[in-house]
Structure 1
């Protein structure tokens, strides 16, 4: 067994431990009532290690699940320049949301807890919005360079599909028993198409 996969597994486990520790503490004490030292103690790491993975305590709870991130990265790599971008992104996000399995998978449970918490913790919501903006800017740059597409078209495509995902996650977090994640996503995509109307 090579050292690199072992180190990767340890890093991913540390990321998960930090994210779950932050999330649990925020749920119990609130963001204001939690320190980085608290997160480090519960995660079994040093405060310095927490800061290696997250620049703020809020972002500690936002550390993404490695498997989901890998799924998104692979799907982004598969996007084709000769096909319309929006339908490809719609399918990408549908696959990601399906992996959440309505909160029954590990990443799905974590996402559900995070979105419920963010609804009542403005600092966490602001951190999530800022992180999403950074990610979209990064993805835009990658797609423009790799697919040789117009930056404006790429940004509009990314922002519009990401907005649908955020709306769906908000609705799901309010009442996950009533609103299935993928079915809500499909309904939201239909609603957007209906509102756009014919060109």
Structure 2
């Protein structure tokens, strides 16, 4: 009895070569598979989550002691502002709203027997397809408020020159001067309540010792 070699073993070496790392990356970035696209959204969202987390660590490290040790006053303001914007607009919104509305619904459709990428389908699949479509558009527009806010502030925003533009803020970042100097405070502020900045700006309403 004679055994023949499998066809894969007799194929040319070029056809049996494992794909290069570059081709794998291009395949992921150009894929139309909804599962791969879902993974890409997850990876991107968590990448922004890590960036926002690093900015949060910078802010907390700066607050470990009074005064500025790591960054300047302007860099400190930029760090906690970008932390909030990234975590809200580039992590939470795409991940928990747009992502699940788009891709979780598609899994439900698949379980119900909906064939992928068919333009014509039974009427009972219409509602979930509409939800998934709305979720896809939500993913696209979720960063537009952030872009609009940056552009409008840059072009037409008035320069803030008061310590507390609202007049009733409570936490200490609203008690330092604006624009911020190289130090936060010339003396350690008194903490008499949960709203020390409000106590400083409205001493007649502050709690009496």
TM-score by length of 1: 0.27
TM-score by length of 2: 0.26
Name the structure where helix makes up a greater proportion of residues: 1
**Which of 1 and 2 has greater Rg?**
2
